[in-house]
Structure formats: structure tokens, C-alpha cells
Structure 1
């Protein structure tokens, strides 16, 4: 199967995240880049959103989850988002980068990048 990419760059979300007490008081902005591997041929043929990965729906799901939960680590947020995306959307692979601007004074941003495939979650029942 060909693996094409649907992407979202610099999605800004707000969430409460951090290990320090002052970080748990108010939401802070994070930036997320996503690359979702999929086969786009059916969507290209039909020209219908139902056959595509709806990147607006993906963004809304991420924003909603981030607003509803609190996290200490970016790693936990990344893994939680990855599991949710594989549960809800027909993607075969995912590369996600989450940046936390302002976390280190001398850096523009810090963050994590994960690469996952659908089969990484097979043992957990995610299809």
C-alpha cells in the first residue's frame, strides 16, 4: 500500500502542562506538527471528505483533548494524542512534534517528537 502524508503544521493548542507548581496554574500554548501516513487514492478519486482524513476534525480532536486534560510531561501528552488519533482516524503512521515555547529561556522551543505506526497499538486493542 502506498503511504501518502496528510499534515498539519504549527497547530497551536492550550493546555495545562508542566512539572513545576507555577505551570499547573494556567494553560500555556504548545505547537504541534503532525504527519499522518495514509493512502489518499480513494479520497483523490471520490473528491469526498468522507474518504479523506479530515484535518479540521483531527485539529478539533487534539484541541479538545488538550483542553480537557492536565499533563506533567510532553511525553505523556504525545502518547495520549497518538493513541486517540489512531482510535479515531484511518491513519497507518504518525509523526508528531510537540514544542513548548518559553520552557527554556535560551531556546526558542523545546519538545518531543514521536514516530508511531498503527501496529504499535495492536496489543492494546487499538485498530
Structure 2
């Protein structure tokens, strides 16, 4: 199966970083997510109950990152991937977590992980 559900450019405001000043402010994280999902059933039924609810997934991503307040992007990505796979029965995902402005001469820095079997 090569179907997937995408969420791109999801912005979450949270506490993130290792420096003392970073633990006192919120910063933007940007999430891109590609999740393996069989889209044949919702494609045939036109019923959201058969689909992977990307609005609910997006809400859960924001909640998770706000509660987690990660020091490292790597930690945020790992926890987020585990939560999404467990709670939404996603067998495979590719998750990119970016921190815009972290390096003044770069648009953003980040990590990209793949978890599960496609």
C-alpha cells in the first residue's frame, strides 16, 4: 500500500530548547507528517468515519508538544511518533520537526524520522 495522509507546515507554539532562556518562552515548531493509511475505504464511502482524521491528529500533535516541552527536537520527534502510532494505529510515518530561527543564517533546523513498516 502506498497511500498516505499528509499534514504539512503545522505550527505549534511550545517551550523548546536547552538554554535557560528557552525554558522561559514559547517558540514555534513546525511539523510535517506523512502517515501510511489505506485511503480506499474513505475514497469509496466519502465518510469521514472511514478516514484518518487529520484535524484530530493535528490537535493531538499540538497537545503533545505543549505538554512535553522538549529540550531536544529529537526527543520531541520520538515521543510524537510513538503517540501517533499508538493512538491512531498508524503503521508507518515520516515526521519532520523544525525549529525556525534557531540558527540565524538558516530558515530552520530540524530532524526527520521514519518509524514503523510501510
* TM-score bin (small chain): over 0.9
Q: Counterpart in 2 of 1:52?
A: 51
8 Å contact from structure 1 (residues 86, 118) kept in 2: no
Q: 1:53/1:10 Cα in 2 relative to 1: closer, same or farther (>3 Å)?
A: same
TM-score for both structures, normalised by structure 1: 0.88
Q: Counterpart in 2 of 1:63?
A: 62
Q: Counterpart in 2 of 1:39?
A: 38
Question: Is residue 2:25 matched to residue 1:26?
Answer: yes
Q: 1:1-127 alignment to 2 at 5 Å?
A: 2-117=1-116
Runs of 4+ in 1 over 6 A off after TM superposition: none
Q: CA RMSD in A?
A: 1.3
Give structure 1 stretches of 5+ with no counterpart.
120-127
8 Å contact from structure 2 (residues 7, 32) kept in 1: yes
Give structure 2 stretches of 5+ with no counterpart.
none
Tell me how many residue pairs correspond in the alignment.
Answer: 118
Q: Per the alignment, in what secondary structure is the counterpart of residue 113 of structure 1?
A: strand
Deviations 1:28-55 (A, max 9, x none): 1011100001111111122111111000
TM-score for both structures, normalised by structure 2: 0.94
Deviation at 1:13, TM superposition (A): 0.3
Distance in 2 between residues matched to 1:118 and 1:62, nearest whole Å: 21
Q: Per the alignment, in what secondary structure is the counterpart of residue 89 of structure 2?
A: coil
